[in-house]
Amino acid sequence: MSEPGTAPLLEVDRLVVSYQLDHGVTLRAVRGVSFEIMEGETLALVGESGCGKSTTAKAVMQLSPIESGDVRLQGVHLNRLPSRTLRERRHAFQMIFQDPMSSLNPRHTIRQSLQNVLKIARRFDATQSPPLIERTLSQVGLDPAIVLDRYPHEFSGGQCQRIAIARALLLDPVLLVCDEPVSALDVSVRAQVLNVLNALQRERRLSMLFISHDLAVVKNVADRVAVMYLGSICEIGPASELLAHPRHPYTQALLRAIPDIDQPFQAPALRQGETPSPLDIGKGCAFRSRCPQARDICASVEPPLQASSTRQAVACHFPIDVPSLSLVRDAA
């Protein structure tokens, strides 16, 4: 495990993202999300579909409309940059997507796809490009001699995802945003991609924002985890602590719901309530309709995200107790 640096590389501060729907309706997809990512650190953003995790990732990439709040990369307010300056900084933060096949041009050889990146970025001259491309492909475990003159359809999903990672790395980013990068991959090739991502973090001290709904994958790649529910972070903390001792009832339900082959099946402790519409969450805790321990206060007061230990924070009026052992370890 690599030691994260001390200065935040990415700071997301009270981020709000809204979409204007028909009839003047506003959908607030991200409702005041704050987190930091240190140099060389991987933060996983987990939650179910519609919780706002992908929207948050796109807002970090300056691809969704930010209503308020800030995204700072190495101290620079990305969301306040004029578009021209932003374009010049884009090399520093790159993104890979869920479906690697559709993120590569099927009519371009891998060589063409990778060269285009360098051409558009205008950061390298013709003599620098070929060795850089070959070095980067080797870094994701692909043999340039075999790969370069082939087309995307000749590769498996896992190989395509590694090519997409290589393409993102060409411009030497400090931050890699990964949106469900292994969800579409088969088990036997998923491991290849996870190993590459872990090696990059170790060797290049790359910081990552890793979006996933799969907690076992998150356990493998993340240093810290933020759990989102209906546009807000309900719990955030070190992966080892949070996944072993969840404080928020929703985190606990998520952990129980994953089919873990090493554990017997446990029914997640959830009430049969419906998830509120994101258009009308109302006041109080967004999770209360499904929470097994919701009480009166949960319907009237929205719980703030509060530190539950030195490194973990939870937004719940009645957080789950952790065994005293871990509290001792936190205090140390």
Partner 1 sequence: MTAAEPLLHVQSVNVGFHTARGYAPVITDVGFALHKGQTLAIVGESGSGKSALAKTILQILPGNARISPDSRILWHGRNLVGQKEAALRQLRGKSIGMVFQDPMSSLNPFRTIGSQLTEGMRLHLGIGQDEATRRAIQLLDDVGLSSPAARISQYPHELSGGMRQRVIIAMAIACEPELLIADEPTTALDVTVQAEVLQLLARLQRERGMALILITHDMGVAAHHSEHLAVMYSGQLVEQGETRAVLQKPVMPYTAALIASIPRMQDESHKTLHTIAGRPPTPHEFLSGCRFMPRCQQPSSQCQQPPPLRQSTDQQRDYRCWHPLEPAHV
Question: What residues make contact with partner 1 under the rule CB under 8 A?
Answer: 1-2, 48-49, 156, 158-159, 186-192, 194-195, 198, 201-202, 213-217, 219-223, 239-240, 243, 253-265, 267-268, 270, 272, 274-275
CB 171 within 8 A of CB 121: yes
Which burial class, exposed, middle or buried, applies to 131 when counting CB atoms under 10 A from its CB (0-12, 13-18, 19+)?
Answer: exposed
Least distance from partner 1 to the Cβ atom of residue 158, Å: 7
Strand order in the sheet with 76-77: 26-38, 8-20, 66-73, 76-77
The least CB distance from residue 114 to partner 1, in Å, is: 21
In the complex, the smallest distance separating the C-beta of residue 5 from partner 1, rounded to whole angstroms, is 17
Closest approach of partner 1 to the CB of residue 62, in Å = 28
* DSSP secondary structure code for residue 308 in this structure: S
Give the C-alpha separation, 285 to 287, whole Å: 5
Is the Cβ of residue 170 or residue 208 nearer to partner 1 in the bound state?
Answer: 208
| Closer to partner 1 by Cβ: residue 118 or 221 | 221
Residue 157 CA to residue 279 CA, distance in Å, equals: 36
- Positive or negative, the CA dihedral 79, 82, 83, 89 is negative
Q: Are strands 42-46 and 224-229 parallel, antiparallel or unpaired?
A: parallel
Give the nearest distance from C-beta 117 to partner 1 in angstroms: 25
Nearer to partner 1, 13 or 214 (CB): 214
Phi-psi region of 62 (alpha: psi -120 to 50; beta: other; left: phi over 0): left
Which of residues 78 and 236 has its CB atom nearest to partner 1 in the complex? 236
| Residue (80 or 202) nearer to partner 1, CB | 202
Taking the least distance from each CB to partner 1, the nearer of 23 and 84 is: 23
Q: How far apart are CA 140 and CA 151, in angstroms?
A: 17
Shortest spacing between CB 40 and partner 1, in angstroms: 12
